[in-house]
Amino acid sequence: MSFAHLFPFAGDEVRGAFSGLELLATAVLLLDRTRHITYANPAAENLFALSKKHLIGHRPAEVFTEAASLSIAIDKAVLGGATYTEQELELAVNGRPRLHLTCTVSPVDVKDATLLLEFRHIDQQLKIAREERLNEQQQANRELIRNLAHEIKNPLGGIRGAAQLLAMEVTVPELTEYTEVIVHEADRLQALVDRLLAPHRRPHLVSDVNIHEVCERVRSVVLAEFPRGLTVLRDYDVSLPEFRGDREQLIQALLNIVQNAAHALGGRIAGGSACIVLRTRVARQATIGKERSKLALELHVEDNGPGVPESIRDRIFFPLVSGREGGSGLGLTIAQTFVTQHGGTIECQTTAGRTVFTILLPMGSSREGQ
């Protein structure tokens, strides 16, 4: 889309010449022939949280990090001599979370400007599409795991029973040790199978849940496990009402997330600087999946650890994926399953020194009987 009709004159100052762009709700930047920004409208200042002073006179690559896709979009518009739109563009400014945008680059022919860049947010559309893909993948994963766990469970019981019978017949102490190993490993695998099957229990202990009672229960358990070097701070919105849910499942979901954070803070715990924050907020008119909820609970678990390894960031909720040695890779999978069964979502944003898990739960309706 070209905005050249908004400024058919070229002799005025930049701000006056492009005054028509001041009223637009979409963010607009204008570039000169050397690709330096010559104009930014108020919507662009709001979107990028930067004033004109920090935008004008700079190239986009100097303002944004990871701006390769934007440079490619500009190149295509220039080479083609026509408008080009990049549908999925990620830009970051000053270390803040990435912005998910569409960018339309239009050649213009006016004083001090040869290119017009228009940016629009697509966070919500991407969020919905991402959640749909994750839900489909989770369902397939859960079905696969459930079938696999059932296939393992029956022969495992037979192996354990045979080992116990064999132990009764063996009289040589050295050989008894072998049967004990078989029984011990069979029990360990049985516990793993039980954990794989546990998330498939639908919520049935539905009652009124006070999220702060859930947080306090989890806080006490984690502090008992890590009595020194770890601080768990509270940042509660006490106005949050109770809602209907399975209290034990929610405790388990939150406990898994907080314990996961605590284990990631091992180095800081040893140094006495580890910190986890439990934060609750009200979210009004929240979109959860494709549904709109008038009132929702936002629960944040924030830690000051090293962040989730980049190699597994897109797979942290997958079963058997763990970022630490000896981890089962089931804690976050179970947490996500329990949250999903309550009609909610769980997301993770992570950078070095700050990781935030956000649980969003609808509070407006009962989910009893599901």
DSSP count for the chain of H helices, then E strands = 11, 12
- 359 bridge partner residues: 299, 346
Rounded Cα gap, residues 57 and 65, in angstroms: 17
pLDDT at 23 over 60: yes
How far is 123 from 91, CA to CA, in rounded Å? 12
Contact 183, 166 (CB under 8 A): no
CB atoms within 10 A of CB 73: 21
Q: What are phi and psi of 209, to 5 degrees?
A: -115, 130
Other Cβ atoms closer than 10 A to 104? 21
Does the pLDDT of residue 205 top 60, yes or no? yes
Please give the backbone phi and psi of residue 312, each rounded to the nearest 5 degrees, phi first.
-125, 10
So what's the pLDDT on residue 89? 83
pLDDT at residue number 7: 43
Q: Tell me how crowded residue 247 is: count the other CB atoms within 10 A of its CB.
A: 18
- How confident is residue 300, by pLDDT bands cut at 50, 70 and 90? very high
pLDDT tops 60 at residue 260: yes
Q: What is the pLDDT of residue 322?
A: 67
- Which amino acid belongs to residue 117? L
Instruction: Name the nearest CA neighbour of 240 among 282, 300, 195, 289.
Output: 282
Q: How far is the CA of 354 from the CAs of 219, 302, 304, 312, 351, in angstroms? A: 19, 7, 5, 16, 5
At 49, the pLDDT band (50, 70, 90 cuts) reads confident
What is the percent of the chain with per-residue pLDDT over 70, rounded to a whole number? 80
What confidence score (pLDDT) does residue 204 get?
Answer: 57
CA 368 to chain centre: 27
Q: What CATH number should be reported for the domain whose range is 203-362? A: 3.30.565.10
Per-domain boundaries in the chain = 4-121, 126-199, 203-362
Report the range of poorest mean pLDDT among 22-26, 74-78, 243-247: 22-26
Helix 247-264 vs helix 211-225: crossing angle, to nearest 10 = 40
pTM score, whole prediction: 0.56
| Helices assigned H by DSSP within the chain | 14-17, 42-48, 52-55, 60-63, 68-80, 123-169, 173-197, 211-225, 247-264, 266-271, 331-341
Question: pLDDT of 61-87, one tens digit each?
Answer: 888 887 888 899 999 999 988 999 888
**Does the pLDDT value for residue 368 go beyond 50?**
no
- Tracing tokens 């050397």 back to the chain, one arrives at 34
pLDDT of 243 strictly over 60: yes
Classify each residue of 258-292 as buried b or exposed e, where b means 16 or more C-beta atoms within 10 Å of its C-beta. Answer: bbbbbbbbeebbeeeebbbbbbbeebeebbbbeee
pLDDT one-digit tens code per residue, 343-366: 888 888 888 888 999 999 998 643
pLDDT-derived band at 130, boundaries 50, 70, 90: low
Q: What average pLDDT does this structure show over 86-99? A: 79
4-121 placed in CATH 3.40.190.10: no
205: three-class secondary structure by DSSP: coil
- At residue 17, the pLDDT reads 55
pLDDT given at position 298: 92
Residue with tokens 């296939």: 151
At residue 331, the pLDDT reads 79
Helix (H, G, I), strand (E, B) or coil at 70: helix
Flag whether pLDDT at 10 surpasses 60. Answer: no
